[in-house]
Structure 1
Amino acid sequence: MLLDLRNDLFRQLVGEGYRTITIESDCLLGLIVDDYVTAGEGDLDDVMARGFSHGWGASAANRELVRWMRAYNAERPAAEQVRFAGFDGPLELAAAASPRQALILLYDHLAARVDPDLLPCAAETLDRLLGADESWTEPAAMRDPSRSVGRTAEAQQLRLLTDDLVALLATQAPELTDRALLYARTATGLLRYHAAMADPAPSRLNRMCALRDGMMAANLLATADRGPALVHAHNSHLQRELSTMQLGPHRLQWWSAGAIVSARLGQGYAFVPTALGTIRHHGVGTPAAETFEGLLYALPGDRQLVDTGRLAKMTPAARVSEWFGYAPLDPARITATEGILFVRGG
């Protein structure tokens, strides 16, 4: 439904000069997909199994997107190819990956290019400080900061060494690559996130949400440097206003990736959120007529791109979702968009 529409939209935008699609998936895993669609590296089944987070690899629509991108690129030079990127960090609110992969990739990139004396430590030192990956991914750390290793002496030393590695990378400007910068952003971001996870302060959950969207924003800005891109993610990560979430007794509030990117790019950023009429397999039925979704549901057709100016004249009630996985649009926030993409549902 939504993903099929996204695919159709991306194909249309490619015809208008867009060359990148980026989705809410692990930025490092996304490199596996990009290598496949640009150079044919790997096998489609394996790419779908290893190149996505959040369960996105099982999606038939994502598989079709990757297949189409590879077919489109097959006979084209690099400058004309379409690209794939994940823009989320290797994390979610409840857990974060070990910084090992990003940190070792950064270290190996530098080790292959600079005098060994310039490196702040030996590779064995990083391996010792990183320890077992399982200690970084401890499931209980999300609710119990004492179970996190993010503020141990080893983690603090890793943050200092990573800072030295990132500073060294900056001195290599003539040979900088997008991937090396991605390794640096991801290693730094993961270590910050783990440190926040280990913080017992009441603000820790807010800080974790903000750090995650900050990583997303940095990846989106890097993607924007390549030219126009289609971004597909949950509305809350792309909106211009503060994002909010109720997590038990905690009311969380933070600036989304979209808000950060919009502040940097100005008119170069456009936000077109999606709205759904029904998600029947999750018990979300026909919206009440007085709600925003109900007004759109009454329009003809299965898909509607509705102008924001038209929406600003509406005064609908807020819809209450019957399913926790669906967040209806807030009518008060409609004017901060460039339009609404409405899908009737099924």
Structure 2
Amino acid sequence: LGVLIGFVFILVLDRLEDRITSVADIERHMSTKVLAMIPRVPRIKRDQLVKLSADRKFSSFAEAFAGLRGVLSSPRYSDLTQVILIVSTQPEEGKTISSSNLAMTYAMSGKKTLLVDFDLRRPRLGRMFGVNSNGDRSQSLVDVLAAEEDVSFDTLLIPSGYDNLDLVMSRASTQISPATVMGSDALRKFFEWARANYEHVVIDSPPFGLVSDALALGTLSDSVILVCRPERSRYRAIRHALRSLTESGARVLGVVVNDVDFKGASFSSYSYSRNYGYNYYGKYGRYGRYGYGYGYYHRGIEDASSTQAESANGGESGGSDSGSSGDSRIVSSSGATAAESILDVEDDE
């Protein structure tokens, strides 16, 4: 009995130690950069969260994504961000909310932006934006990619209702296997079309730990951002995702930490004095439940501006300072100028 108790204790301890608990742990264990942290947002529906950056432009949630956009627009990353793939290792980590709000933020800055739902098995962005194809297969990504005859990708475009932002949605199909379109010539042509017509393309992929679609999508994208969530995401799963993505030829820029509780001890060094929080846990099909955050302002814009100023003055832009000791395809956390601090906000409660 004692041996059994000891074995169970070791298993529990190992599982607890495998969970993400702080930003410092992520950068130390992963050798990759934390690009942004998105604080917790209570009491708001998931369908509202996908558009929150536009609907509440002056909220801290919107400013967090504006900070992320500022980091990605800096000389260090600007050449790697026309087509960005957003992935997570499992459900409930905030991938869909992160991809939609990043796309929304690009659009609000005046950039012609395309948001693509590449979760071909459980597409949901269309419903979240309140749009659908009304059964028109020419507006379903999986149907167009699987079509035997050439179909114009322009038929896929659905207005988002927001300036500078178009949507490409899909539908779950029982006749078409998503695996058959991944790696196809039609998929490559779709990416070429998107690059030719949009300044920024943000792709929402299915969870990495469930299917391997992200590997095919990652090699066609300029870069990959991995979304994780404290107390939910596991280091082993993240390391596996990073290793698999980089070995496939994808370039991982870093991590976005979602649903951060800045009042918790693990993030106390980031000093939050105000929590604009709404919290809502909604179902994600059969995948599970999501929780999303809001209230954090990332100083990425300021850092990006500083970097640009240094570059204009003949200083180092940081653009050649990518790569990690573990893998040259992962942008290292060492020497980065962006995403290094947080502005304090006052408590609203």
Shared fold by TM > 0.5?
no
Q: Which has the higher contact order (CA 8 A, sep 6+)?
A: 2
Greater share of residues in helix? 1
Superposition TM-score, scaled by structure 1 size:
0.29
Q: Which structure: larger Rg?
A: 1
